[in-house]
A and B are shown apart, each in its own frame.
Chain A
Amino acid sequence: MIKDDKLIEVYNRARESVNSIVGTTPEDYKLLMFVDPSLYDSVILQTQRAGTPKAVISSNELQVLQGLKEKKHVASGIDLIYGSRKPKIFMPTNRMDNDPDGKIMEAKLVHAFAKVLISEHTKSKFPDTLQQLFKYDAIISDLFTNNVFEFVNERSAPWIWQYFQDFTASIRLLSLYNEDDFYVPPNTIRSASIFYNYLLEIKDITKKRSKAVNKAPLFDLIVNGFADIVLNEHLRSFDDKVRERIEARLKANLGQPLGTIGNRFLREHGENVGDIFENARELRNDYELIKIWNRGDTKKELEIVRENLNKQSIIWHRSRSSYWSDLWPLRANKFDKIANTYVGKIQRRKYQQFSELLEDSALVTTHGRVVLKDREVAVLGIQEDTIGQEQLLILRNHLQARKDTFVTPLPGLPDVIVFKKFAGMHVASYLGVADKTTDRRYPSSPYDLPLIVRAVQVTKRKGAYKSDERDEDGKIDTANYEHLQKLTEPQHRAIRYLIRQGEISQ
């Protein structure tokens, strides 16, 4: 371990401060300092997307995230805290730069310790769930590396790395929404090879993981709110001049919507910080925190919080020309999302668990199947980067497995239509295999399939789906669209267009 006197001094000051404010300090945690700031960026991106710092992410998402790193669009100012029962604080070592007296690092540590403290002591199941998730993801990750290494050696097929990675990440996402039932291999196949054994094992663990996620209580407001209270209390001990200087540097810690909103509610749960801490420990989820007010009162109170934020937030921005036109609206928009959507949903519908929130705005939905003469086309809606084109290929391979008794996970191939929204555009894409005539003796890798992709913008516009190819004949009518559900009219039209396109190119 590298010895760093200044860091240790600041660290001890922060612990003392927390002790004097709350009356106790956290004990069972780790502070992980990354020497390489770019490594820290990776960890932030990965944890934010996949949930834990150990989760395996798909190659599609990896490319997206790496693009963000290259373009320097990472929010590296965030202090990453994994609030399980044994919490972990992640930070890059360069946080100590430009901070001669260590006051800023001290404030950041106080903020982190407050989160750690509540995670250690709360009666809620939330930290336990995070602990479980971490464990499951660690197991998956180990299984992944060991098995694939063996398998690559055995078959000398390097594509397997990516194949397993994509499969694991895709299954993780789909099982969250209970859409993974297309892949049900019999248990007897386990002994056939490492490959099948791995797939079955992974399926099992992701199922458990999804259950844990779904049962997790909503807890963000409590953690962030409590940390906000402690940090503000800590800052109050400085005189005005020093405080202003420190506050201006705490962009990621102060003024974040979850923190300020949670703070407002928590202050109703006790007189001083000690009381609040005692009461906050008893709260099991955010619903218990915010049920003290009805919707009308909440709106009034949050309006005041929003106005204060409006006055305060200019200190975190350097740009004067775009502050009022763009930066404040951005902040306000984020605040409103939490204040109206998150708090609103919990208050109106009494949500307590994460699963309720997930179901409410599902990222993955199924819309049934289109039945053609010789095959089926599954229709899905996926609003996530985990599953892209290459991952769809894998999914499709396994969709076949549902129909026949399980033979092989390699090429089976019903086609897929996927709806995806990207801000201003809503795209329906079709993924199919080009040749039906050859008897499907495909080359060594599932990526070598001769596939077709068609994509079209979903729109109400008249004539949007017209093309020369379309009007050739009435082949379309053989398709059976009866098994589709929960679709809008333009989506239906997009499906028909894509099916026709698929027929022509076959």
Chain B
Amino acid sequence: MPHRIFKLTQAHYPDPLVDYSSTEFIMEFQDAAQLLRQWRNPHLGRSSREGTILSIAASTRASYEAIQERLLTTEIGEEEEDELVDNLRVLKFMLDRTLPEALELVNLDQLLTVEDIQEFINKHMQLMKEEYGRNLTTAYDIMNQLTEITDIEITDKFGRKRRISRNDVLDEIGSILGNILLRQISLWPVDDIIARPRGRIHLKKTYISAIKREAVIPPERVQQQDLRVIDKDRLGLIYFIVDMSQSMGKKVFKDGLTRLDGALLTSLGLFYYFKLVNRRKRREFDSFKMHVIPVVKNPYVITDNDRFEDFLMDAEAKGKTRLVHATMAAVKHATDTYKDNNYDVQLVYLSDGRPNVPYDGMIPGIKSKEFAKYFKDNIDTKTPKSAQECMIQLNQIFTALKNTNSRKWTISYFLMASSKFIGSSLYLDTNRMLSGITKPILIDPTEVDNLGKKILKETILNESG
């Protein structure tokens, strides 16, 4: 009974998506021009700017939903599938971060025309595409290319010269560093958990409860009832402990970059990242409080954000490495100033390795005999006695902090050295010192060749293009 089949063309069935406001319908050119002029009238102030953002947001949301639908219902090839997934990530980022920021800038009168807004968004999108792209190493590459953080003069392809301040550069780097953390997160965190509870999941405690329930190690699966969530209102205290001893002044990297430069660069990057996170989080207070403790004779704590920035910009390398002293100062500051246990503490070390001035006073915790034995057994070690003593002390403090129940202490340890360093006794000692606590991270600005230049070039291209 094929009589029920009808083949249709445009003549039988007009396209329902007819845009009556399009110029085809408005026969008079004058009318169309007038409509346009009204909408884009510069005297209307911000109307058109905010209107632009709202309409971009609406079309972004529509794309975001349509792509999901297409991925789940339409036959498409591998290439397009990958492309759409990437697109989805970029759109999500745009809705979550780029557009709110653009709106804020419009309200502050920093983006003045519709073109400004478009440019701002394009710039963001390009960065995102590079980061979220299939080849996820791009962002690392960008990071790994920074050679200088001082002001840079660059000539673009039209021969125009331009000077860019390091603030600009670091702002970019900060956002890149932070986005690296976000990058490999899946679009939807789905596994066997049906609905995700609010808040961040506390992995360790969740595993422990799963093990208890299943009585097997490792547990076969994690169920809803096992989930433990971190208290939403917890805040973070971040202490950057920056080694400023003489050895940090050594020029070890290409282009005469010292270890200290590397350390400062890293902490600045992290500083800007956390600043950005504070700005983006929608709460009334900052989630992260940052401090810096220079490793000098009498370590002191800098809490004010502006002074912090200044300090990192103008630091100088001299003196001995009093890491233990600085650590004690940080612990004292955190426990005395923030008595409320809602604060988690993160200690970030940026050093070239060997502390050499042992601490005289009381140190919390119990000395690790194993670690002391490690040095004793290792007879031909070149590590000086003082450094050994310091490392044992640090290990003691770290272990004690880790075992504290009242609040959470986390430690990150950055070593300013190239990856060749990985077999050296210094690295092995440090690794041993931190075993069970964290892993040392090697930071090497040399491998990282043209990072800054690349970012700057792109900034310029975007601005002039």
- Residues of chain A having any CB pair with chain B under 8 Å: 1-2, 4, 7-8, 11-12, 15, 29-36, 39, 42-43, 45-46, 53-54, 57, 59-60, 62-69, 71, 73-78, 93, 158-159, 161-162, 165, 249, 251-252, 256, 299, 303, 316-322, 325-334, 336, 340, 385, 388-389, 420, 422-425, 427, 429, 434, 445, 447-457, 459-462, 467, 505
Contact = CB atoms under 8 A, between A and B. Distances in A.
Nearest to B9: A35
8 contacts: A12-B2, A329-B186, A332-B188, A385-B61, A422-B61, A455-B107, A457-B103, A461-B282
B459 to A, nearest CB: 25
A159 B81 contact: no
A2 B64 CA distance: 38
A425 B4 contact: no
Contact of A73 (B38, B63, B194): B63
Interface residues of B, number: 88
A501 to B, nearest CB: 9
Contact of B284 (A62, A93, A334, A462): A462
B92 A73 contact: no
A201 B359 CA distance: 89
A42 B25 contact: no
Contact of B100 (A1, A63, A457): A457
B190 interface: yes
A330 B60 CA distance: 18
Contacts of B34: 448
A326 B188 CA distance: 7
Contacts of B41: 450
A448 B38 contact: yes
B215 to A, nearest CB: 22
A76 B74 contact: yes
Contact of B70 (A34, A73, A461): A73
Given A68-B62, A73-B66, A434 B100 contact: no
Interface in B278-302: 281-285
A455 B50 contact: yes
Nearest to A322: B85
B379 interface: no
Given A32-B6, A33-B8, A424-B97, A455 B53 contact: yes
B362 interface: no
B67 to A, nearest CB: 5
B13 interface: yes
A447 B38 contact: yes
A452 B55 CA distance: 16
B135 to A, nearest CB: 11
Given A455-B53, A457-B103, 8 more contacts: A30-B4, A34-B9, A35-B9, A385-B61, A429-B54, A456-B103, A460-B284, A467-B107
Interface stretch (B15-23, B111-119, B237-245, B382-390): B15-23
A54 B13 CA distance: 11
A62 B92 CA distance: 22
Nearest to B93: A424
B217 interface: no
* 8 A-B pairs closest in CB distance: A424-B96, A77-B74, A161-B20, A318-B78, A329-B188, A319-B81, A75-B69, A423-B95
A429 to B, nearest CB: 6
Contact of A434 (B44, B186, B282): B44
Contact of B35 (A319, A420, A445, A459): A445
B107 to A, nearest CB: 6
A36 B21 CA distance: 24
Nearest to A430: B50
Nearest to B56: A422
A144 to B, nearest CB: 10
